[in-house]
Structure 1
Amino acid sequence: MFSKLSKGLLAGSVATSALLAAGAATAENMVALLLPENVNPRWEQQDAAAFLQTMKEIAPDVTVEVFNANNDTATQQRQAEQALTQGAKVLVVIPIDGESSAIIADTAAEESVPTLAYDRMINSENTSFWIQADMFATGAAQAQHVVDNTKSGDTLVLLKGSPTDPNAGVIAAGQISVLQPLFDSGERKMGYENWTPGWDPAIARRSMDQALTQLDNNVQGVVSSNDGNAGAAIAAMEEQGMAGTVPVSGLDCTVQAQQLMLLGKQTQCGWRPLHEMAAAAAQVTVRLLNGEEYADLATETVQNGVGADVAFVPVTSYSAVGAEGVAYVIDNDPSITKDMVCQGEAASTAFCQ
């Protein structure tokens, strides 16, 4: 489901089914979208924007309140309580912490309000729905790209994600599934690894600076868990005259990441159709508002960290490499255009001519 990508916000079949589901929504309905932070531009510029646009199309009488917790779990919990006090009928939550966010779903359940986990799982028995790509496969693709572009004996750096983000651990596990056999055999060397609390690029930059110092710049590949980490690693290597000589993976395919890819400084990024994730979240939200079944929207059931069965919609993902990967993302991501990518230094690349 949701594998058909298009330049429009929704594929026709998705829009049709959602419109049919929207009929019973009323002006008295309010839903809350709780974002984790604004360090990564995708949350506000892509996920929230697409969710708001989809809700406007399929349920124009529903009010959507958007909150951003700025990477503070206590703030996110207070925002959830505020939303419930304001009368929210559904919570769509991108948790900062998959464990502590359970209190959000549990508190909402006490008021008979369902909680939808978007992107990151919420480890609560009261999580109604989860929407995400296969992050293990995404991590494996990141690592495989770096392996394919390094040689026997080369030294790698791993810049992992936020330790409180459930996805970060899954991504790292996917990476290690590829890398550990090579580390064990000596085909590749683990030079340095570190987590990045809050996915903060400033922390990733410090980690990369430390890695370069400890290894005396003897780094041939960077397995980075997202584009923010990748950009930080590239900035650190730029100072050492290494940028563009070392493969660097990423995730999200932000405009900046695509520009770096065209310049040959970032070499890979994992892309997910965030507009389709948001569309799926909107469809489920409207079904929940209307008290309707949503089993047809879920293709799988997964168990979360507390053993609860959660309806799951997996979305597709794509490993974008080089200019060809940039072209794919531009063709399939309605939030990004060639004009946006072809700015600054990237404008002089062959792709942009």
Structure 2
Amino acid sequence: MFSNLKKGLLATTMLASATLVAQSASAEDMVALLLPENVNPRWEQQDAAAFLSTMAEIAPDVRVEVFNANNDTSVQQRQAEQALTQGAKVLVVIPIDGESSAIIADSAAEEGIPTVAYDRMINSPNTLVWVQADMFATGAAQAQHVVDNTSEGDTLVLLKGSPTDPNAAVIHAGQVSVLEPLFASGERVMGYENWTPGWDPAIARRSMDQALTQLSNNVQGVVSSNDGNAGAAIEAMEEQGMAGTVPVSGLDCTVQAQQLMLLGKQTQCGWRPLHEMAAAAAQVTVRMLEGTDYSDLATEVVQNAGGNDVAFVPVDSYSAVGAEGVAYVIENDPSITKDMVCQGEAAATDFCQ
């Protein structure tokens, strides 16, 4: 998908609220990219880097300013206000909270500035475009993987995402679509579940420790909503001698997650072509600046939680399992190389030899 877009990444790490200028920028036009946090390295190292790279290629005279709110909704709102004051003509926002971020889209609309929701939906009637993969299907794939690798009567733990992230609820709904009938019939047992505010791995670790304590280590599967949660669960199980014996799902296919997959400790991760997502967002942004049509990119329409229609740019996803899944991600993700994955303990695996 979006094969016409360049896939090279700008190798850079952004500081919070840092201004990054596309090559040959004249500063006649400025757009703002608002990141939610730096707990997950993907936002700066993959999404923002790919957005900047594509903007530099297709609109070199456009200045791009990148902000990081560090999981503070009030900070993100202030950063949006700052961007508008500085003359931003498009806001591309990865919201911390789909509800409170509506203020950002509404404020921008009052000034005639369009808002693009990237990755996470913004529940405002003024959200014009949403760029994302099918997160319901992603959650269903996570759950199905764990079900396929457990047996009748086995006990599962669900480590859900951040309760303020709209994606977390959709991912969980996908998981429940697979798991609820099995819980109802007794084919699987719901042992423990908890949300993870801010997608903070430290909170996920405490949840997994609590689960193991409450269940006396009687856990046969972990349905984790992302790689951070998965890594935390694996750390907790490592202390109990259980890591590598329990299927664990994830999302994002970070380098650490792929290393854990090669070691057999994390067994699945949902992968999205973040470079394509960011490139598509950049393409839409430039069309907005030019006042030209972007319906060839936003090929669908979805409703946000407020019941408002939003043009939707769909992106593919892939359920990566084991070494074969790692090979697929390395082949298709320009931000990750085999050398990056084959470090530390993972270097001794057959895949890295």
Aligned match of 2:295:
295
Cα offset, 1:62, TM superposition? 0.5
**Alpha-carbon distance between aligned partners in 1 of 2:4 and 2:214, rounded to the nearest angstrom:** 46
SS in structure 1 of the partner of residue 279 of structure 2: helix
What displacement does 1:6 show? Answer: 8.8
Q: What SS is found at the alignment partner of 1:296?
A: coil
Q: Residue 73 of structure 1 corresponds to which residue in structure 2?
A: 73
Q: For 1:45-194, what aligned pairs fall within 5 Å after superposition?
A: 45-194=45-194
Matches within 5 A, 1:185-334: 185-334=185-334
Alignment of 1:40 onto 2:40: yes
Contact 2:8 2:50 in 1 (8 A): no
Distance 1:290 1:314 in 2: 22
2-structure distance, mates of 1:287, 1:345: 46
Paired with 1:283 and 1:344, the residues of 2 have a C-alpha distance of 38
Asked whether the equivalents of residues 145 and 268 of structure 1 are also in contact (C-alpha less than 8 Å), the reply is: yes
SS of structure 1 residue aligned to 2:190: strand
Closer/same/farther in 2, CA of residues 26 and 298 from structure 1, 3 Å limit: farther
Instruction: Measure, in 2, the Cα distance between the counterparts of 1:127 and 1:284.
Output: 13
**How much is the aligned-residue C-alpha RMSD, in angstroms?**
1.5
Measure how far apart 1:85 and its partner are.
0.5
Which amino acid in structure 2 is aligned with residue 156 of structure 1? L
Q: Give aligned pairs, total.
A: 339
- 1:3 and 1:315 in contact (8 A); partners too: no
Q: Could you say what secondary structure the match of 1:297 adopts?
A: coil
Deviation of the 1:308 alpha carbon? 1.3
Q: Is the CA contact 2:8–2:53 (under 8 Å) kept in the aligned structure 1?
A: no
1:3 is displaced (CA, Å) by 7.1
Question: What's the CA shift string for 1:159-205, capped at 9, x where partnerless?
Answer: 00000000000000000000000000000000000000000000000
Using the alignment, how far apart are the partners of 1:8 and 1:164 within structure 2?
32
Which deviates further from its counterpart, 144-153 or 290-299?
290-299
Q: Following TM superposition, by how much is the alpha carbon of 1:26 offset from its aligned partner in structure 2, in angstroms?
A: 6.3
Question: Partner of 1:213: helix, strand, or coil?
Answer: helix
**What letter corresponds to residue 238 of structure 1 in structure 2?**
E
Higher alpha-carbon deviation: 88-97 or 305-314? 305-314
> 1:340 — aligned with what?
340
Among all aligned residue pairs of Structure 1 and Structure 2, give the percentage whose two residues are the same amino acid: 88
**2:29–2:89 CA contact under 8 A, matched in 1:** yes
Q: Could you tell me how far 1:214 is from its partner in structure 2?
A: 0.2
Distance 1:89 1:108 in 2: 9
Q: Structure 2: how far apart are the matches of 1:57 and 1:303?
A: 32
C-alpha distance in 1, partners of 2:168/2:212? 23
Counterpart CA distance in 1 for 2:181 and 2:6 is 39
Deviation at 1:58, TM superposition (A): 0.5
Work out the CA distance in 2 between the residues paired with 1:224 and 1:46. 22
Corresponding residue for residue 17 of structure 2: none
8 Å contact 1:7–1:332 — kept in the other structure? no
How far did 1:307 drift? 1.4
Offset of 1:27 from its aligned partner? 3.5
When the two structures are superposed, what TM-score results if normalisation uses the length of structure 2? Answer: 0.94
The one of the two structures with greater contact order (alpha-carbon pairs below 8 A, sep at least 6) is 1
Contact 1:7 1:331 in 2 (8 A): no
Deviation, 1:299, is 1.1
Structure 1 unaligned residues grouped into runs of 5+: 10-24
The residue that corresponds to 1:14 in the other structure is none
TM superposition shift of 1:72: 0.4
Give the CA deviation at 1:140.
0.3
AA matched with 1:245: T
Deviation at 1:7, TM superposition (A): 6.4
* TM superposition shift of 1:230: 0.1
Query: Deviations for 1:35-92, whole angstroms, at most 9, x for unmatched residues?
Result: 0000001000000000000000100110000000000000000000000001100000
